[in-house]
Structure 1
């Protein structure tokens, strides 16, 4: 391995994209990683955008932590740092794009262009044949300065279907092959996206099956190496030295950016993970971090864990800091009602109630004016809350002027639907855990 002090590092890399969502990007990325891991290669995967669920699948497939890579949320320099440091010891870097190649601002194409990463377009062949070639041609020619490694057809129905697809591929495009339509290849979903990896009992079997299919395509060839430049170092201040932070971590609370954990540690915090579902009491900590997740799927367990609810109340009454995001916010209310109309009593630290909805209630990037400063953030939720607590601020949307998510503060508690990215302002993040 080359010295970390070198100004650049080369590593094979690919960005896996598609014309839009639901073309199979996560499945293909996971299976490709799994294939190379089985070849004794160290594969590191990034997820473009702010998603929490896809990285769980990708981490299972690669056996390595999966970080978000987002030019707005994290910023160019932080993305550059993550890629450079990963390239120091990885044999292959994969980046799963978000939505379609050109969807959003910044989009996956911006990421590929910024770091000169070659692109593979995965296109669902359902309901099309020769026209798939036109779709691929449009993706590869819509914007100059993008490097395309090829196109892969997904959900190919038969050998005849495969022949028709090949007929439509322009000679200027590299066709990598097709993946057959198979129910075994499909990953289960629910209202916020894919089901969490640990809940899919046959996940290994599914990914292995797709990896075997990918082994028969040209996608398995290692891509060309990309040069990743070392950015200027920017060390986070040790503002949390000696502070013990308890972080909720289980099936109900799992939506946390790995980079947030890194930032807290870099600022000197000692992190202790606990489960509101399974633990009877809190660990011995100074502050609490309740991330988002699926508390609405575990109403009975959370409701019946009376000792944990009492411990949270005691922590709050002592004036110790609590920071809660999205699902963590819901958990601290008086109750949560799921889509079936079932209601669970929660700790009631925040006055009010949450009710799950059938439609998306919040989505998009926002700047969060937290008590310690502005943090870049993202929101994505299917619930609404009714509370008498007045917000201290609202998120500022990136793309329009409508009101953003409310930010609440009660004594040393700060809570919001917003998922904040701590590396965007470590000083502001530290203040969430200090009195």
Structure 2
């Protein structure tokens, strides 16, 4: 595509030397600050994370999509950034883990797409080493476009001066945020608490934005942000995939127990022709009228008692399955289908009983990482991230594999099938293979 079809917009990738440094707080504070000033902000999240995007969406006031050079693909990343830049005054991309962690890493994305990198460093227990760490992040790999560094959890103005003095380049200093529990975003076992569950979420974001407004980074206006402008080239044309789900209604569970839904997956289903209807297993008495059902991941273990007590919904689910209508259940959605769920306190709950077996929460991660699932219609990319294990007499009909590997009988996540139900711990990114995504919502073959 020619340069005349590119979209130009200030953009920044918020990174860190490790997880837990405050990337999400800073990315959200920056988004909230500029949104309050009337700018159109679009935010993205590196990697497959479901939780940080809830906060970024609250802060920016716009949908948040994932960017991952493997899971979503470079072409998809470029297309989403190009579309966002065409309508935005500022694009913010939150990194994942440490800047150079993972394959591909946030640094790989920044280098491929020419995104300036802002490093957020938890400086609460350091002084001169702050400068060394900032220098290392900037120069460890060639080809990174550098925006500067922000110190987080700083004890005092004197402490901030010490940190700033340690930088080789004074112009790299973008300020310091204080050590303040009011600026922290609450967490639980899978990551951040979902923003929409907290009544004070916006107040937390405003507090963080107010603190950032006192820094050199926060004082940059629209004109000053132009130093970080990026030309996002127009994507190549994509061949149409047709509308195999035209005329079909897909019901999707969506509430505090089932909240891990990529916005891009919803867009993909609509593009495939499906009509989407949403319902709450925590509150609803029955399934809405539908041809297929999607039970996404989430936190059924935190709401097991309420899910167990919703007998009307269980009857509706059973009728759906007995009618041979498709069910696709991911991770938490699959957990709720088993006979029994044992929560973190060791209490057993009778769940929906549509899959035989037992799910038990564990104190540590049971699985984490990118995965791909080969189906007859194609290969879906995605990931796995769960703290539970399951015991079932069902034999897997397939297993996922890591990138670049073939599935092995004893490796990867199991794909279980019983009647019209297909279920797995695997979280799928539907746009990676729309025909395969469509096949999840048609009768299993």
TM-score range, shorter chain: over 0.9
The aligned counterpart of 1:147 is: 145
Runs of 4+ deviating beyond 6 Å:
399-402
From 224, 228, 232, the equivalent of 2:232 is 228
Q: Which moved more, 1:181-190 or 1:212-221?
A: 212-221
Q: How does 1:172-187 map to 2 (within 5 A)?
A: 174-187=172-185
Aligned to 1:193: 191
1:134–1:26 Cα change, 3 Å:
same
Q: Give how far 1:370 is off.
A: 2.9
State how 1:23-422 maps to structure 2 within 5 Å. 23-171=21-169, 174-220=172-218, 221=220, 222=225, 223-234=227-238, 235-398=240-403, 403-422=411-430
Deviation per residue, 1:32-53 (Å, 9 max, x gap): 1000001101101000000001
Deviations 1:85-136 (A, max 9, x none): 1111111100000000000000000110111010100000011011101000
Deviation at 1:199, TM superposition (A): 2.1
The CA RMSD over aligned residues, in Å, is: 1.5
Distance between the aligned counterparts of 1:333 and 1:59, measured in 2? 33
Cα deviation, 1:205-264, whole Å, max 9, x if unaligned, reads 211111111111121322521100111222332111111000000000000111110110
The answer on 1:423 being equivalent to 2:431 is yes
Task: Give, in whole Å, the separation in 1 of the partners of 2:275 and 2:201.
Answer: 33
Cα separation, 1, equivalents of 2:169 and 2:396: 58
Preserved CA contact (<8 Å) 2:147 2:228: no
Gapped regions of structure 2 (runs ≥ 5): none
1:126 aligns to what SS in structure 2?
Answer: coil
C-alpha distance in structure 2 between counterparts of 1:236 and 1:213, whole Å: 47
Shift of 1:424: 0.7
Unaligned runs of 5+ in 1: none
Residues in 2 aligned to 1:273 and 1:236: alpha-carbon distance in whole angstroms:
24
Q: TM-score, normalization: structure 1? A: 0.97
| Equivalent-residue separation in structure 2 for 1:281 and 1:363 (angstroms) | 33
- Structure 1 position 6, deviation (Å): 5.5
TM-score, length-normalised on structure 2? 0.95
Query: SS of 1:404's equivalent?
Result: coil
Contact (CA 8 Å) 2:298, 2:332: kept in 1 or not? yes
* Cα distance in structure 2, aligned partners of 1:166 and 1:399: 44
Q: Distance in 2 between matches of 1:380 and 1:263?
A: 22
Q: Secondary structure at the match of 2:312?
A: helix
8 Å CA contact retained: 1:397, 1:403: no
Alpha-carbon distance in 1 for matches of 2:198, 2:25: 13
Q: CA deviation at 1:366?
A: 1.0
SS in 2 for 1:384: strand
State how far apart, in whole Å, the 2-side matches of 1:305 and 1:350 are.
17
Which piece of structure 1 moves more, 338-347 or 319-328?
338-347
Q: How far apart are residue 342 of structure 1 and its match?
A: 1.6
CA 1:399–1:98 in 2, change beyond 3 Å: closer, same or farther?
Answer: farther
Contact 1:137 1:173 in 2 (8 A): no
CA distance in 1, matches of 2:165, 2:7: 40
Paired positions, count: 432
Equivalent residues of 2:164, 2:170 under 8 A apart: no
Aligned-residue offset at 1:173: 5.3
CA-CA distance at 1:372 after TM superposition = 3.0
Q: Are 1:394 and 1:405, in contact at CA under 8 Å, matched by a contact in 2?
A: yes
Q: Name the CA distance, whole Å, in 2 between partners of 1:44 and 1:163.
A: 33
